[in-house]
Structure 1
Amino acid sequence: MSSQDIPEENLPAAQRGTHAPKPADDKNPFADPGLPPHEHRIQDIDERAAKRSERTVALLFTVSMLATIGFIASFVAIPHDKSIYVFPLGHVNAMNLALGLTLGVALFTIGAGAVHWARTLMSDEEVADERHPIEASPEVRAKVHADFKQGAKESVIGRRKLIRNTMLGALTLVPLSGVVLLRDLGPLPGTKLRHTLWNKGKLLVNMNTNEPMRPSDIAVGSLTFAKPEGLDEHDHGFQNEIAKAALMLIRLEPEAIKDKRELEWSHEGIVAYSKICTHVGCPISLYEQQTHHALCPCHQSTFDLADGARVIFGPAGHALPQLRIGVNDEGYLEALSDFEEPVGPAFWERG
């Protein structure tokens, strides 16, 4: 079948004639003004202008690649807690600012390059295409294939190798931003989850008075919160450290303690347990004196502090870690070691 035998609407875009105006009639009461005459762009008639547009598009794609590299470099090189002053925003996190700017530039320049490419180098000739039945006839399939080949030809991607190569480079590099973020949403913990500031000889300091504690400071049935000696709330990283080292002290009658190890690790009935719930890490702050139960206010996990702080109710997965304590030569309560189990939620599932 020759091109003369194919209806005009089935021909590729470059082979179709201009859609002619159609006057109104009884069947179609609205006149069809047709398509305006096609006006050539400067790039269509001047190869030097086309080359300039090609270099512009390539430059945008190259900027995208550099911005993606800058994104990865910012993530690696900038400390996560560094802040800078930016007018008029004030103090902002330097890493977040750098990541936002570089990723924004990388994505914007890919889009801008694609738009500039389409507007200056791809074909801009308007073509009218009549509606057709949903079922695809052999002629329609032939038309689709022909249109695809013609579109690929009009995109000039085969002829404009500089655009093609830089576009492929930009599209290849920009997903690396997501790969880096998904790989590591924060510094790897290493062994930090297994260690706290508690160690042998570290004094127990009252959270309210900031004074070291003696056994006489803790009454039977009372609940007291403690932190390690030397940890000040104004210190850099205080929140990170107290989130692992926060301690609660309860004084029980020695004969009320059921767990043998708990009794050995206590001092005169004073037991020390991590304050961090083993469910999702909420701070435990409720204590029932008569039952010796500690209650997490977030999801009601309940721990028996007279029986190794085992879980007796709620979603917590395991008992609260106990800190072994004693008294130094001056009569102050001190830690005899760090926690033997990592504090916090779901550790056993993590490791």
Structure 2
Amino acid sequence: MSSQDIPEENLPSTQDAHGGAVTKTAGDPFADPGLPPHEPRIQDVDERAAQRSERVVAFLFLLSMLATVGFIASYVSLPVDKSIYVFPIGHISALNFALGMTLAVALFCIGAGAVHWARTLMSDVEVADERHAIAAEPDVKAKVMADFKQGAEESAFGRRKLIRNTMFGALALVPLSGVMLLRDLGPLPGTKLRKTAWSEGKMLINQNTLQPLRPEDIQVGSLTFAMPEGMKEEDHDFQQEIAKAALMIIRLQPENIKDKRELDWSADGIVAFSKICTHVGCPISLYEQQTHHVLCPCHQSTFDLSDGGRVIFGPAGHALPQLRIKVNDKGYLEAMGDFAEPVGPAYWERG
């Protein structure tokens, strides 16, 4: 027997949201229980409570603005290498900690302010609306616009000027955090890319033995890697400095050196060139003894070390910078200054 065959008075009943009985009609076993009656909040009936909520929301937005200003101040003022102790994490970067905390507070306060605004001041009346076809009728469109205007009025966006203005301020300042981060994407290296750890009088130290190099230590056709005197692997900035100062030393027969300046800057046929490829900065380590060519393993840029380190193949844009060297009074190889041009890949201000 189907539900249509059962008399309506014999159908089981349920309770609605108000506790009243809702009888299921034939063919409709799940009746609409209805909505509970709306209970006004204290902010709906007490303007002083509404103003208190308004001040709380405004305070959160103001706190977000201050946190954004703190983010920018931390990014500009805190050094990268400064560390602080944070329990129970331990020693961490002061800059990273400050940036993370200030940005978290700025975003949290905007979200918390918006949530508190919605829960205490915006209308909380539940409205049931039937679903309609996608192509709405003109009267439906008019109703939507009317509902939108009504919602804008009920949100008190125009009346609560303190909330509106502080929200605009918080939303306007938060994007500045991202703008400040974009600074690192721009060419602001100053003179860092033009200078390395090499200077006049610094001896060439064998990177493997950590001993000063003499001319007799370098054989014809050999490739030796060197670093400046005074640089130590345990230094906190070693990786940063060696990335610019890494040097490769090759001994050629003086008659095989084609470039006159290269010959003048050498010592007994020993030439010193930057180890950093001028394409994207990969370390060069492959040397062809017969041709005096060095090959970058990343993208196969090839340089002729007997001809000023010029590019003979590959995507590199310019020759390897040469370091002028000499033999000092103690018989050790030493630099006569820094590289004459920036090492590594090209950049906007290189010229």
Matches within 5 A, 1:234-253: 234-253=234-253
Secondary structure of the corresponding residue to residue 61 of structure 1: helix
Q: Which residue of 2 aligns with 1:189?
A: 189
* Counterpart contact for 1:41–1:120, Cα < 8 Å: yes
What residue number does 1:34 align with?
Answer: 34
- Aligned positions of 1:199-238 closer than 5 A: 199-238=199-238
In structure 2, the partner of 1:8 is none
Higher mean C-alpha deviation, range 257-266 or range 117-126: 257-266
5+ residue gaps, structure 1, are 1-20
Q: Distance in 1 between matches of 2:117 and 2:272?
A: 68
Partner of 1:57: 57
Partner residue in 2 for 1:316: 316
What TM-score, normalized to structure 2? Answer: 0.87
2:292 maps to what in 1?
292
SS in 1 for 2:55: helix
1:183: how far off?
2.4
Distance (Å, rounded) in 2 between the aligned partners of 1:304 and 1:333: 22
How many Å apart are 1:350 and its aligned residue?
5.8
RMSD (Å), alpha carbons: 2.2
User: Which residue of structure 1 lines up, in the alignment, with residue 130 of structure 2?
Assistant: 130
- Per-residue deviation at 1:186? 8.8
Q: Tell me which amino acid in the other structure corresponds to 2:92.
A: V
Q: Hey, what does 2:140 align to over in structure 1?
A: 140
Amino acid at match of 1:233: E
CA distance in 2 between counterparts of 1:91 and 1:186 reads 30
Matched, 1:345 2:345: yes
Query: What is the CA-CA distance between 1:74 and the residue it aligns to?
Result: 0.9
Inter-CA distance 58–264: structure 2 relative to 1 (3 Å threshold): same
The equivalent of 2:163 in structure 1 is 163
Match of 1:11 in 2: none
What is the one-letter code of the residue matched to 1:30? F
1:279 CA displacement:
1.7
Match of 1:92 in 2: 92
SS of the equivalent of 1:146 reads helix
Structure 2 letter corresponding to 1:88: P
Gap change, CA 1:26 and 1:349, over 3 Å in 2: farther
Alpha-carbon distance, 1:46 to partner: 1.7
Cα distance in 2 between the residues matched to 1:278 and 1:24: 82
* Distance in 2 between residues matched to 1:62 and 1:349, nearest whole Å: 41
Show the counterpart of 1:17.
none
Aligned to 1:74: 74
**2:193–2:342 contact (8 Å) kept in structure 1:** yes
Give 2:4's aligned residue: none
Name 2:117's counterpart in structure 1. Answer: 117
CA contact (8 A) 1:22 1:34 kept: no
Whichever residue aligns with residue 252 of structure 1, its letter is L
Which stretch has the larger CA shift, 248-257 or 178-187? 178-187
Q: 1:23 and 1:145, CA in 2 relative to 1: closer, same or farther beyond 3 A?
A: farther
- Give the secondary-structure state (helix, strand or coil) at the position aligned to 2:249: strand
Contact kept in structure 1, 2:187 and 2:348, CA below 8 Å? no
Structure 2 match to 1:9: none
Letter in 1 for 2:329: D
Distance 1:77 1:349, change over 3 A: closer
Deviation of 1:64 (Å): 0.6
Instruction: State how far apart, in whole Å, the 2-side matches of 1:302 and 1:111 are.
Output: 55
Counterparts in 2 of 1:88 and 1:345: CA distance versus 1, 3 Å:
same
Q: What is the identity percentage for the equivalent residue pairs of Structure 1 and Structure 2? A: 77
> For the residues of structure 2 that align with 1:275 and 1:183, how far apart are their CA atoms?
29
1:317 Cα offset (Å): 2.1
The offset of 1:331, in angstroms, is 2.2
Contact kept? 1:280, 1:345, Cα under 8 Å: yes
User: What is the rounded CA distance, in whole Å, between the counterparts of 2:34 and 2:248 in structure 1?
Assistant: 83
Give me the whole-angstrom Cα distance separating, in 1, the residues matched to 2:150 and 2:279. Answer: 61
One-letter amino acid matched to 1:96: N
Change (3 A) 1:350 1:200: closer
Paired amino acid for 2:274: S
Displacement after TM superposition at 1:209 (Å): 2.6
Question: Secondary structure in 2 aligned to 1:200?
Answer: coil
Residue 340 of structure 2 aligns with an amino acid whose one-letter code is: E
Correspondence 1:108 to 2:108: yes
- Structure 2 counterpart of 1:199, one-letter code: S
Who is 1:260 aligned against?
260
1:75 Cα deviation (Å)? 0.8
Checking the alignment, whether the CA contact within 8 Å between 1:24 and 1:32 is kept in structure 2 is no
| Residue-by-residue CA offset, 1:105-143 (whole Å, 9 max, x unaligned) | 100110010001101110000111112222233212211
* Corresponding residue number in structure 1 for 2:12: none
Provide the rounded CA distance (Å) in 2 between the counterparts of 1:27 and 1:133.
Answer: 24
Q: Distance in 1 between matches of 2:315 and 2:30?
A: 70
Counterpart check, 1:327 vs 2:340: no
